[in-house]
Amino acid sequence: MALTMLNELLIEDPSPPLLLYQLSKTAQLDALNYQSCFMQGVFAHFPEILFIHRTYNPRGKVLYTFLVDGPQVQLEGHLARAVYFAIPAKEDAEGLAHMLQVFKKFNPAWERVCTILVDPHFLLLPTLAMEFPTAEVLLSAFHICKFFQGKFYQLSLEQPVERVLLTSLQSTMCSATAGNLRKLYTLLSTCIPPAQLPELHSHWLLNDRIWLAHRWRSRAESSHYFQGLEVTAHVLSQFFGTTPSVEKGMTALFRYLRQNSGDKASFSLGLSPPNNHPPSDGSPESPEVEQLVEARIQYSLNAICTGPAAQLCLGELAVVQKSMHLIGSGSEKVNIQILEDTHRVQPQTPASCSCYFNQAFRLPCRHILTMLSARRQVLQPDMLPAEWTAGSAASLGDIVGSKWSETLDKHLAVALLTEEVGQLLQHCSQEEFERRYSTLRELADSWIGPYEQVQL
């Protein structure tokens, strides 16, 4: 299988790529170094900042993806900034040194690398410093953000606190000024229990050298940058990180790259994509297995639900199919993120979600459907209320009218506003608290009257 995959790469690539590999005694792919001519050209133009992302597969093999970074890089599209793929035989000092030496041998521009961005778990920093003696090795803003997100979920914080931290983190990453970083540092010190605070390494937020490599981006550019890296990491994880077979994972990844190679045109035209170029889709093309799973979900929706219920849920599924979705497992709940909306899914029957759609209609929303798709499962009859099951309702208007009312809409709006006000009051100073509480007291008295005590 390894040799078949490698021969496919050589035959289908229009120009001869760099391809070095090593097979194990069982004829499995043990090590790999790959770089197309296009990748080599991109790195030769933008060698100053090198971004290294690592993806592990279930066998413990790790894929190193090198990407170019910096203000001059304007390439658009999934993995358009990738300039090198490598799988070391072993992830130790010797294996990493050999991998980097191969990269340097075929890329003379390596001597112009000034900065290398890595993740917080990258332990072989001495090897990296030895092979790139003139480059500065820094933690990347993207990997620090992902590290904090993972820690927030692992700490099992109260949901309002977790939401405040995630929102503040996202805002700070898009505007990483010294003041905003200090505010986030203070917020972490306030919200995280002292015994757990060392796990977060919040001192990274005060290391200005890390953020100078990222601070030049505007808020819009930062948001676009993080979203692009999210998609890149998702693609790499989807193809390489989910299969134990290195050969199958790399074959799927390279086929995806060939199918999405239109980004080369931007490079040949001067590395500035035209203004009328449509924004790239947030999700890669689904493999055949995922298409089959989604087809089975559609069938189960049509078989189990009423026509109106299936109509609503298929609309939610359509959003899932066109969106990038990230899934992280907690102890009892599953964290589902579709684009910028993060919600909590309770997978136990009957499945529920914190989003507006599920709370209002008690139907499987896009987040629950994403969970089913990821787990290769289908909808079951006990996952929805009796009124939504097949044969129980006449029309969409009847069901929606019975489940959604102006009172419910007001209740949800007030609940969200109350929660937000509560969060603001919990995390402000005593002086600010007194001022805001006084304002709320006056507002309550003006609505209800000072003679009826209102509990705030």
Given this structure, which CATH class describes domain 1-143+215-260? alpha beta
Q: What does the alpha-carbon distance between residue 301 and residue 320 come to, in Å, rounded to a whole number?
A: 15
Identify the H or E element spanning 21: strand 18-23
Q: What does the alpha-carbon distance between residue 36 and residue 23 come to, in Å, rounded to a whole number?
A: 21
Q: What does the alpha-carbon distance between residue 432 and residue 84 come to, in Å, rounded to a whole number?
A: 52
| Beta carbons of 65 and 53 less than 8 angstroms apart | yes
pTM assigned to the model: 0.58
Looking at residue 199, what DSSP letter applies?
A: G
What are the sequence ranges of the domains in the chain? 1-143+215-260, 287-388
- Going by C-alpha positions, the residue among 219, 239, 380, 381 that lies closest to residue 371 is 380
Report how far apart, in Å, the C-alpha atoms of 285 and of each of 49, 378, 426 are: 29, 21, 44
Tokens at residue 47, please? 């060698």
DSSP collapsed to 3 states, 323-346: CCEEEEECCCCEEEEECCEEEEEE
- Going by C-alpha positions, the residue among 346, 284, 375 that lies closest to residue 321 is 284
Tokens at residue 406, please? 């102006």
The three-state secondary structure class of 325 is strand
pLDDT in tens, the chain (456 residues): 555 655 665 555 555 566 776 766 666 777 888 888 888 889 999 999 999 999 998 888 899 999 999 888 877 776 889 999 999 988 899 999 999 999 999 899 999 999 999 999 998 999 999 999 999 999 999 999 999 988 888 888 888 888 889 889 988 998 899 999 999 999 999 999 888 889 899 999 999 899 988 888 888 888 888 888 988 898 898 888 888 888 888 888 888 887 776 444 344 333 333 333 333 333 444 455 555 666 667 667 766 777 667 767 776 776 666 555 555 555 456 666 555 456 778 887 778 887 767 777 778 888 888 888 777 787 777 777 776 776 655 455 555 555 455 665 566 567 667 766 777 777 778 888 888 888 887 777 777 655 455 555
